[in-house]
Amino acid sequence: MADDGGAVVLYDGNIVSTDNSKKNPSQNSFSIKVGLAQMLRGGVIFEVSEPQQAKIAESAGACCISVAVDAGNLRGIGRMVDPSLIKEIKRAVSSIPIIAKARVGHFVEAQILESIGADYVDESELLSVADEENFINKHNFRVPFVCGARDLGEALRRIREGAAMIRTQGDLSGSGNIGQTVGNVRKIMGHIRILNNMDDDEVFTFAKKIGAPYDLVAQTKQMGRLPVVHFASGGIHTPADVALMIQLGCDGVFIGPEVFDGPDPYKRVRAIVEAVRNYNDPVVLAEASSALSDAMAGLNINDNRVVEPPPVTILVIPFLTRS
């Protein structure tokens, strides 16, 4: 196996890595980063935009919080958030790690986020792209990186670059359309099932077809899953949405900041946490989903449509003249 990124295999919960982490003692090895990401497995990551939301997420049982970018800024150039906001949120919470977003390819933003104490860095496609050709070399950082992917080849390429967590991304507009997320998760899981049934000689061709490193493709076949933690994001708003993603094979979910809108955000956040913990129990899911209709009513795909005015009927009455 190549040692530019190493490979991580999980045996009975123990991490075994092929990478050589002694080359630079100032950097955490890839296996350590993957181990830190494993701590989030089976949890919910909430996107927050202010300290009060972070406190709600922490008290409701979130495994991590991600500092969201102001939606208004996304109409122009989406950049990393103000570092002072991240520091303020870190002071507001006591026992929960923080993910901060950097633009794709913008390694200086990642350096800044690492220096101010972000626990994870998300190289996010939700922001404007800083480098059209190159992603960040994530092996140069101590903190674990989260990267988005829409298919198996893309996921394994990000892992080779040093991503310790893969986020299968669906809807990017915040419309509440979970269909894209479901489709991308099913695509990745379907390719893994196909890979599991392949002869070892066929793996070379499959790796070339999806544009992924052969050693990581072979490792995925051996493990029957992605080599790192796999979350889903985009259009996930209800407890049922959360349980759907986990039953499809994801390790956890990202929830957008819309969940904090409304009169009782704690109730909605807590219901989603309960759903990920009891994703296979319809009785618990039914209870978690109860009395949330008002809170979730605005989170649907039709919110962004343009409502056309009703047609106006004009009656034309001929002008009669006396002959």
Q: Is 101 one of the annotated active-site residues of the chain?
A: yes
Give me the sign of the Cα torsion angle 208, 212, 218, 224.
Answer: negative
- Whether the CB-CB separation of 144 and 39 falls below 8 Å is answered with no
Q: What is the DSSP string of 96-156?
A: --EEEEEETT-HHHHHHHHHTT-SEEEEETTSPPS-SS----GGG-SS-EEEEESSHHHHH
> Quick one: which of 88, 103, 208 has its CA closest to 145?
103
- Whether the CB-CB separation of 261 and 298 falls below 8 Å is answered with yes
- Whether the CB-CB separation of 164 and 145 falls below 8 Å is answered with yes
- Whether the CB-CB separation of 3 and 18 falls below 8 Å is answered with yes
Cα 195 from Cα 220, distance rounded (Å): 8
Q: Which of 101, 138, 208, 209 is catalytic?
A: 101
Catalytic residue ranges: 101
